[in-house]
Amino acid sequence: ARRSSKGDEVPKAKKEEQLAGRVRVVVRLRPRTADETKGDKDFADVVFMEPEIKRVTLKKNHWETDSYFYDTVLPDHASQKKVYETVTQPVVESVLQGYNGTVLAYGQTGTGKTHTLANIGLEDKSARGMMVRAVEDLFEKAVADTEYNTSIKLSYVQMYMEMVQDLLRPENANITLYEDPDTKEVTMPGVEEVMLDNLDHCISIMEVASKSRVVANQKMNASSSRSHALMILTVLRQPKDADKGENIVLLRRGKLYLADLAGSERINKSGSAGHMADEAKSINLSLTTLGKCINCLTEPNPGHIPYRESKLTRLLKDSFGGSARTSLIITIGPNPEHFQETLSTLQFGQRALKVQNNLKIQEDLDYRLLSKRQQAELDKLTAAVER
């Protein structure tokens, strides 16, 4: 049941905490392509972005419109820098504080998910997407940090038909997931983790990885729009004076997931078809399950959340209804031909807006220091006995 009585008022601090934990949903409109602006293909606008009042309006026909509100509305002229600052930077900052964070792009194929997240921007730095910018930002902050030593580890995988393939070691094509029985954290044992030296190091790895992705997809006869690409940055921070102190130090360990999801269009098509071919079903499974989880989470009394039904949702469990800070970028295109897809994408975003996470700092004991101290105590004892 929904709480409505005044006696149940949540204290202010608690309220702010909850507000901070809600999944942030941002809508980004792709500009028209050259093709879409050509004479005979020209079309009337059906999508209207109003950033000032955070509203997106869809014009169904001359007399009907639908309006939706979001946390942020990014018009087609919004730069990658702007998208980074409004959507990703707050998540990166949380990760540095030791929270887990997630940034996802969800939308129909061709609406700009890969551009937004994975663009490497080799020729044009201003086109760099969220992945490169997050790493750049992390390194800038790490270098400027006088209190902590920061290390950044990178993993990069692709998920296609419930198979997880390591993009850093493509021969590793069927990674299994593991859930820690104590912490409930889901990890991918055996996945390559590269300790990053600097931004250029990351960019060169991403170049190789994106080629691996193309090769892998050719082999499987799949288009990249059917797979999810998931970058995982593990940020470990340790106080600089840790070695000097006697006390056991706490490490801050934040994980940042950056997910370029498969095109959302298949969900709807297969959904309306009633039953579907095995392949389509499997390709859909992760996105369908994500939708199911979100629907469950937004119910007043969420019971069982079906995270376990797909690999994507198992991995992203902490991002929806968990302890991570999550931003969801909903990408849409301007073309009236895809009106229905645009509408269902926007509605997906509306549901995600209601998902509440409870942010929690991830702290680890520094076992290396712990054992050092234990060793010292042991040495003392041994010395005493020998005397």
Q: Which residues bind ligand ADP (CB under 6 A)?
A: 30-31, 33, 107, 109-115, 225, 263, 331
150 annotated as ligand-binding = no
Q: Which does 288 bind (CB under 5 to 8 A by kind): Mg ion, ligand ADP, none?
A: none
Mapping DSSP to helix (H, G, I), strand (E, B) and coil, where does residue 379 land? helix
Nearer to ligand ADP among residue 212 and residue 362 (C-beta): 212
- Minimum Å gap between C-beta 6 and Mg ion is 48
Q: Does 342 bind Mg ion (CB under 5 A)?
A: no
Q: Give the closest residue to 353 by CA, choosing from 332, 326, 334.
A: 326
Instruction: Identify the CA nearest to 226 among candidates 218, 237, 234.
Output: 218
Q: Are strands 55-59 and 65-69 parallel, antiparallel or unpaired?
A: antiparallel
| Smallest gap from residue 264 Cβ to ligand ADP (A) | 9
Choice from 80, 102, 114, 165 touching Mg ion (CB under 5 A): 114
Nearer to Mg ion, 32 or 55 (CB): 32
- C-alpha dihedral, 126 to 144 to 205 to 28, nearest 10°: -40
Nearer to ligand ADP, 33 or 65 (CB): 33
Residue 110, binding choice from ligand ADP, Mg ion, none, Cβ under 5 to 8 Å by partner class:
ligand ADP
Return the bridge partners of 149, or none. 238
Q: Least distance from C-beta 10 to ligand ADP, angstroms? A: 38
Q: How far is the CB of 223 from ligand ADP (least distance, A)?
A: 9
CA-based torsion, 348, 350, 351, 355: positive or negative: positive
End-to-end CA, the chain: 70
Residue 114 known to bind ligand = yes
Check if the beta carbon of residue 234 is closer than 8 Å to that of residue 193: yes
Q: Can residue 331 be called a binding residue for Mg ion (CB under 5 A)?
A: no
d(CA 211, CA 285): 25
Q: To which residue do tokens 């269009």 refer?
A: 265
Annotated binding site for ATP: 107-114
- Contact set with Mg ion (CB under 5 A): 113-114
Which residues are known binding-site members? 107-114
